[in-house]
Amino acid sequence: MDPSLHELWHSASGSPFQPAVGKGSQFLVGFVLLLLGLGLTGGFAFNRSLVGLPVYGVPAGLVIASPMASPVASAPNQPLFRAVASSTRQIYQLLKCISFAPKVDVQLTHYGIRFAADHSRVMQGVAFLDQSLFTKYTLNWPEDAETTPRFQMNLSAFLEALQIFGATDAAARAAKTDADAYRSNLRNYRPDAFSHQTLDMPGTCCLVYEEDGSPLGVILEESDIKTQCEIATYTPESPDDIPFDRDDLSFKVIMQARWLLDSLSELSPLSPAKIAISALPNAPYLKLASGGAISSASVDFSNGRDLLETFSVREPWIQSFKFDLVKSASEAMRIATKVSFRGDAQGVLSLQFMVEGEGGLTSFLDFRFVPYITQEDEDESESESDEGY
């Protein structure tokens, strides 16, 4: 292929044709022009003369021909959003990390897709799929618009659609596990030598959002098999993001994500209800502590470059959070390379994970947690309520 034609093709995909008349008005405009042309033709039939030719004949021919020759009537329907990915593996891994909520809020932007999951307004997880993850990404929306298309959908159904071709491999591994009771647990999660993931078979995933309010289309194609799914969309409830003040941080720690995962694994056998996180300018610096009915445990992190790449504490910060909510981010800890551990002056905890994907692409996952109300605040609220009664 000529390189100039290849560049022209890429540039054309980023600037799709926009018809002068909208999709919903094309039939009405064409029908009106056709009636006007027939009327002018009838007038010329009753006054066939040299004077009537420029008055009736020529306009009639132009009006009748315009609906057929105009690009308005023949322009292809452009969807509101369309993105094509060569693999669903990284998309599935990122969205799996925020699957703690049944529904997810989706926002389409010119830079990527933002998925936000919320749990009772005390935990929030955000996964951003950058446009670099897709081989083709088109959003037919004004770039200077204040808002971009948003909707809600069932995240579980979307994840199942992405794994349609991988379900065969999962079923095969499950059958081998039942047949071989002595097979190790670690090996059960590994793909076989001839699985689709190991062979890296060619396949594409196309996401299509025709118009506002329409279902999200998922088109998966692998070899000669093509599967099309439609995920129902809902009107977004527009929940506010959990406020986190980046300009008023009490502490900031950057470390390997697996250290945080190992710490939660050490505390998990106690089945704790809460986890206390302490960031101090002196020893023990960073501390994770929890307690059960009969015992308690804690994990301390020393301030060293081999353990904490970045450690900055402006003031002592001690807050408690629900252990199960923090543990919900363990999937992100498993696939991420690094984590930015931050807390603001209001007590909100932020865990931002950096995930390195195929081809050197980097994605980010952001989790925010609201702390428990301290016992003093609870006592004050109870006393105020008693005085009110």
Hey, what CATH topology would domain 81-104+131-234 get? Proliferating Cell Nuclear Antigen (3.70.10)
Q: Is the pLDDT of residue 189 over 70?
A: no
Residue type, 167: A
Average pLDDT, the chain: 79
- Nearest CA to 291 out of 273, 277, 306, 307 is that of 273
CB atoms within 10 A of CB 47: 13
Per-residue pLDDT tens digits for 246-255: 999 999 999 9
For a pLDDT cut of 70, what percent of the chain falls above it?
A: 66
User: 81-104+131-234 with 249-379: one CATH topology?
Assistant: yes
Q: How far apart are CA 59 and CA 36, in angstroms?
A: 9
Amino acid 205: pLDDT: 93
Mean of pLDDT values over 135-143: 95
106 touches 98 (CB < 8 A): no
Hey, what CATH topology would domain 249-379 get? Proliferating Cell Nuclear Antigen (3.70.10)
pTM (global) more than 0.85:
no
Per-residue pLDDT tens digits for 336-379: 999 999 999 999 999 999 999 877 889 999 999 999 874 444 44
Amino acid 252: pLDDT: 96
Q: In what order do the strands lie in the sheet with 317-322?
A: 296-301, 286-291, 274-279, 317-322
Q: Select the more confidently predicted residue: 382 or 273.
A: 273
Q: Is the pLDDT of residue 306 over 70?
A: yes
313 touches 303 (CB < 8 A): no
- Nearest CA to 160 out of 216, 101, 92, 217 is that of 92
Mean of pLDDT values over 232-261: 92
Q: How far apart are CA 266 and CA 283, in angstroms?
A: 20
Domain ranges of the chain: 17-74, 81-104+131-234, 249-379
Q: Select the more confidently predicted residue: 307 or 168.
A: 307
Sequence-separated contacts (24+) of 58-61 with Cβ below 8 Å? 61/37
Q: How far apart are CA 199 and CA 216, in angstroms?
A: 29
- ω into residue 149 within 30 of 0, thus cis? no
DSSP string, 68-82: HHSHHHHPPPPPSEE
Q: Per mean pLDDT, which of 215-219, 240-244, 270-274, 372-376 is the most reliable?
A: 215-219
284 touches 301 (CB < 8 A): yes
pLDDT class for 165, splitting at 50, 70, 90? confident
